[in-house]
Each structure stands twice: as structure tokens, then as C-alpha cells.
Amino acid sequence: MSTTSTKMAQTVKNRSSYLSQRVSNLRPSGIRKFFDIVATMDDVISLGIGEPDFTTPDPILEAGIRSLQKGETHYTSNAGIIELRRALSKHLFKLYGVEYDPATEIVITVGGSEALYLSATALLDPGDEMIIPTPCFVSYQAEAFMAGGVAVEVPCKMENNFDLDPDAIRKAITPRTKAILVGYPNNPTGAIASRETLLEVARLAEEHDLIVISDEIYDQLVYGVPHVCFPTLPGMRARSLLLGGFSKDYAMTGWRIGYAAGPKELISGLVRIHQYTIMSAPTTAQAAAIAALEESEKEVASMIAEYDRRRKLIVNGLNRIGLPTFEPKGAFYAFPKISVTGMDDETFAQKLLEEENVAVVPGSAFGAGGEGFVRCSYATAYDKIVEALQRIENFVARHA
């Protein structure tokens, strides 16, 4: 290699040194690692991706098309078009009886993920602590870290159906604690939080003057139980940020539309960050989201019924195979315990993919308490779940 080539290679090699220490220390997503492997293989049944396999319902698609045809291709208000904020305000009041002023207490975001980013960034100063019950969505700890804060994990347990543990949360509170971030229905476990434990969390927030960020992106995907909207609990509307979106309930993942709702003093902080980083959520998606709220109730009910059918299939199947799985009451995930095979979750997921072409996600990717489990999404076709269960059964029998 010539001297010039050597110098060029050295320059390229050292470019990573320009990255900030915070980004360099940010752990890659455990979910994406397996998606990247799956993308290189044929005949893979993926139970890994947390995405509805349904096409966005027709009323929503048609509203988006009409918006484009009318030339609505420009920026909107930073907070989102007022018609959507009004529709969302009415929707939340109809479902849960909680009221938000569309003008000052709601911001429309680029998916629920941006709402999460805005919340962490707006609330946390360097060194501030955010308590996060785990296992949880992979972005929770990362968002706290990127905001300069500290993620304090509080593991939930299978024997408690992965419900919140108020005593453990209480013990985790320190003078640096600023917020508690809860996500129910839960990704990856499919658990719901009981009203009793949420009331305990509310009491802790009141006692220690904390903000609660409640990620309720799966709020309508519940089976045989009511969803408890955290801001409806006594005294909590004033000290909570409600995060939600359209990706899961309405099969709109690619539209990238979400929201945050809360007291205007908090929302104004989120909007301040949003206006500098995003400007406004996608205009076409905002128009489509209005149709989701106002015209898609029947389609949503149909999707929920099908998820429920798949839920029963996969939970019963995993338990029959010998992988203990508690009954998830929300979202579209099952969380079987695979440590009974003698493998750790990383090994189980890797070998299952290599030997049977079934993709699942190691539970350890979702934080403390996920070790020894894997996440299986049933947001895929019923017949594919049947085949995946057969492949998993073959795998477990071979390694028993």
C-alpha cells in the first residue's frame, strides 16, 4: 500500500473519534441487530418486529390521498394542525374522560418516539434520574441517556405478571429523581398495569414531587380488560405527560404520527424543542390521523379481534411446547421464559434463527428483568404463527 493510501486509510479509521462520547457510549438496539440478520436470510418467519401486518385502513388512506390531491404539502403549525389536536382532545375525553386544551396542551409529533425524546429532553438536566420499570421499550433508557440523565431500572417480575412494583420504585427514588417513565400496555411483555399499582405510583409522584411520563401507545390494544389512562388518576393530570400515537392502534407505523398531551407549562417546553428539531409532523399524516380518530372505529375493532385470536394461539402454543408464558392482556407480544432450555436468551434467539429460521428478540434487549425470556410478536399472520410454533417445538425438542 502506498504512503498516500496508508494515510487515507488511517484518516478513515480515525473518523469515529469525532463522535461525541455520549453517542459512542450509546448501546446499539438489540432489536435491530436481529433484523439486520433476518434481512440476509430466506424463508424466515419473523416474530421479532413490533409492527402490525395490516395495511392502514381505507378511511385513513383515503384521507391522506385527499390531502395530497388538495395540495396540502406545506408546513403546519409547530404543534400540529388545530383540527387534529381538536379531534384528539375529543377522542381522549370520549375514551377516558380526560380533557386537554387543543391550543396549548397537545403537540403532534413524528411518532410516539419523538414524543418520548421531547419529554426526556425537556425534563432532564445532566445527572437527573428517571426511574424506568423494566423490561421496557428499548428506547426508554437511551432517551434518558441522550438527554444527559440517568436511567434507573426497576425490574418487574413474571410471578407478578410483569405489573409495576411500587415498593421497588419507592426504594429507587433519590434526591436526583425527576421523573418516572411507565409504558403500559407493555412492550415487550404484553402486560398491563393494574389500577391499584398505578395509584401507588401516583402517590409516590405526589409525595416526591415527580413527573410521570406515561407511554400509552398501545392503549386500545387490550383484551378483556379496561385500559387505565394514567392522567385520569386523582391529581395526576397536573403532573403527567401522556404519550401516544397512531402506529399501533391504527396500523400507521410508516406515517410517523404521534402526540404528547399534558399541562401547558410542560407542553410548551416540548414544543420549544420540537420547533427547532422537527418544525412540524408530516402534513399528510396529520390529515390521515383525523380520519383515524373519526372514521376508523370499526376497522380498529376488527384488528383487535384478530390480534386476540392470534394471542390465544401463540400463548397456548408456547405453553404447550414447554416455554412458560404468562397471559398478556395488551399490545401484541408474548414473552415466553426460555431459560428452562438451559440457554440464555441471546443464544436461544441466535440458534432458533440459524436452525429453524424463526426470528425472536432476546429479552435482555429490553433491560433488567428480561434476561431468560424472548419477545414474540403476534402481529403477523395466523398461519405464519402456526408454522413458527411448529418450528419452535422442533427446536426445543432437539435441545431438551
Task: Take residue 102 and report the three cell numbers written for it.
Answer: 387543543
Give the range of the structural domain holding residue 290, as residue numbers without chain letter.
71-295
In the numeric block, the cell 401484541 is attached to 332
**Is residue 259 included in any domain, yes or no?**
yes
Domain termination site, one of 251, 267, 295: 295
**pLDDT at site 1:** 52
Query: What's the CA gap between 217 and 236, in Å, rounded?
Result: 18
Verify that 249 and 391 share a domain, yes or no. Answer: no
Q: What's the pTM value of the predicted model, to 2 decimals?
A: 0.93
Q: Which of 276, 295, 314 finishes a domain?
A: 295
Is 208 a domain residue?
A: yes
Residue 169 CA to residue 33 CA, distance in Å, equals 31
Q: Is 93 inside any structural domain?
A: yes
The whole-angstrom separation of Cα 370 and Cα 312 is 22
Which pLDDT score is estimated for 10? 55
Grid coordinates representing 284 are 399528510
Task: Let me know: does 227 contact 197? Beta carbons within 8 Å.
Answer: no
233 in the same domain as 326: no
The pLDDT profile of the chain, 400 residues, written as one tens digit per residue, is 555 555 555 555 567 678 888 888 887 776 766 667 677 777 899 998 889 999 999 999 999 999 999 999 999 999 999 999 999 999 999 999 999 999 999 999 999 999 999 999 999 999 999 999 999 999 999 999 999 999 999 999 999 999 999 999 999 999 999 999 999 999 999 999 999 999 999 999 999 999 999 999 999 999 999 999 999 999 999 999 999 999 999 999 999 999 999 999 999 999 999 999 999 999 999 999 999 999 999 999 999 999 999 999 999 999 999 999 999 999 999 999 999 899 999 999 999 999 999 999 999 999 999 999 999 999 999 999 999 999 999 999 999 7
Q: Tell whether 135 and 216 lie within a shared domain.
A: yes
- Domain identity same for 226 and 210: yes
In the block, residue with C-alpha cell 428480561: 370
Tell me: cis bond preceding 133? Omega within 30 of 0 counts. no
Considering the domain architecture, whether residues 125 and 242 belong to the same structural domain is answered as: yes
Could you say which of 279, 295, 311 is where a domain stops? Answer: 295
Whether 180 is in a domain gets the answer: yes
CA dihedral 86, 201, 374, 339 (to 10 degrees): -170
Domain count, the chain: 2
| Co-location of 251 and 289 in the same domain | yes
3-state secondary structure the chain: CCHHHHHHHHHHHHHHHHCCHHHHCCCCCHHHHHHHHHCCCCCCEECCCCCCCCCCCHHHHHHHHHHHHCCCCCCCCCCCCHHHHHHHHHHHHHHHCCCCCCCCCEEEECHHHHHHHHHHHHHCCCCCEEEEEECCCCHHHHHHHHCCCEEEEEECCHHHCCCCCHHHHHHHCCCCEEEEEEECCCCCCCCCCCHHHHHHHHHHHHHHCCEEEEECCCCCCECCCCCCCHHHCCCCHHHEEEEEECCCCCCCHHHCCEEEECCHHHHHHHHHHHHHHCCCCCHHHHHHHHHHHHHCHHHHHHHHHHHHHHHHHHHHHHHHHCCCCCCCCECCEECCECHHHCCCHHHHHHHHHHHHCEECEEHHHHCCCCCCEEEEECCCCHHHHHHHHHHHHHHHHHHC
User: Do residues 140 and 117 touch, judged by C-beta distance below 8 A?
Assistant: no
End-to-end CA distance of the chain: 53
Tell me the CATH number at 221.
Answer: 3.40.640.10
Does 217 share its domain with 265?
A: yes
Question: What pLDDT does residue 12 have?
Answer: 54
Grid coordinates of 299? 376497522
Query: Do 283 and 306 sit in the same domain of this protein?
Result: no
Tell me if 176 sits within 8 A of 168, measured CB to CB.
no
How far is C-alpha 141 from the chain's CA centre? 12
The angle at the Cα of 143, spanning 140 to 147, to the nearest 5 degrees, equals 145
Residue 9 falls inside a structural domain: no
Report CA-CA distances (Å) from 137 to 30, 184, 212, 317, 368.
11, 10, 16, 25, 12
CB atoms near residue 359 (< 10 Å): 23
* Whole-angstrom distance, CA of residue 164 vs CA of residue 185: 11
Provide φ and ψ at 48, rounded to 5°. -95, -35
CATH number of the domain that residue 392 is part of: 3.90.1150.10
* Same-domain pairing of 185 and 220: yes
User: Is 5 a domain residue?
Assistant: no
Look-up: residue for cell 396529520?
286
> For residues 225 and 203, what is the distance between their CA atoms, to the nearest angstrom?
23
Domain shared by 337 and 224, yes or no: no
Q: Are residues 141 and 282 in the same domain?
A: yes
User: Is residue 1 included in any domain, yes or no?
Assistant: no
Claim to verify: residue 85 and residue 184 sit in the same structural domain: yes
Judge whether 377 lies within some domain.
yes
